[in-house]
């Protein structure tokens, strides 16, 4: 659970850092998020292989892989090797897309709990 939360928190922190002009800090936060996203992607894929009939597990594995690819793309676009002192549009777009994927993941993860709550409402 911690690795998933840390990947998302570091990505959100990178978004805030970019919004405030601290692009170097955002780059460092994104680099820190990549290992957590990679491990989460592998664990989610392993969970899907264990329960192939669970489509939610497959969707979560796919979304983790997509978020990992977007994190790597954002880091590559803003890499110090490019020697660009400003935030490249591709780096920002990949970060925003990754945040969107995390939002979709949160909705997919919360759906079973909301469905259970709707079927069994609390008694007054």
> pLDDT (tens digit, 9 = 90+) per residue, 57-98?
899 999 999 999 999 999 999 887 666 667 888 989 999 999
| Inter-residue long-range contacts of 110-113, CB under 8 Å, 24+ positions, other chains counted | 111/56, 112/56
Token digits for 114? Answer: 């909301």
pLDDT digits (tens, 9 = 90+) for 79-90: 876 666 678 889
Look-up of token digits 């594995």:
61
**In this predicted structure, what is the pLDDT of residue 30?**
94
Distance CA 99, CA 111 (A): 18
Angle at 10 between CA 8 and CA 14, to 5 degrees: 115
Q: What is the pTM of this model?
A: 0.86
Q: Where are the domains of the chain?
A: 2-119
Please enumerate in sequence order all residues whose Cβ is within 8 A of that of 92, keeping only pairs 6 or more positions apart, or say none.
18, 74
Q: Give φ, ψ of 56 to 5 degrees.
A: -65, -40
């Amino acid at each position: 659970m911690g690795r998933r939360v840390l990947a998302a928190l570091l990505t959100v922190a990178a978004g805030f850092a970019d919004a405030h002009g601290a692009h170097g800090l955002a780059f460092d936060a994104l680099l820190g998020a990549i290992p957590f996203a990679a491990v989460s992607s592998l664990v989610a894929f392993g969970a899907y292989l264990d329960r192939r009939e669970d489509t939610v597990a497959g969707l979560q594995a796919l979304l983790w892989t997509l978020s990992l690819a977007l994190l790597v793309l954002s880091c590559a676009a803003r890499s110090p090797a490019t020697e660009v002192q400003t935030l490249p549009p591709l780096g920002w777009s990949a970060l925003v897309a990754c945040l969107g994927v995390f939002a979709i993941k949160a909705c997919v993860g919360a759906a079973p709990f909301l469905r259970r709550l709707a079927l069994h409402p609390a008694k007054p």
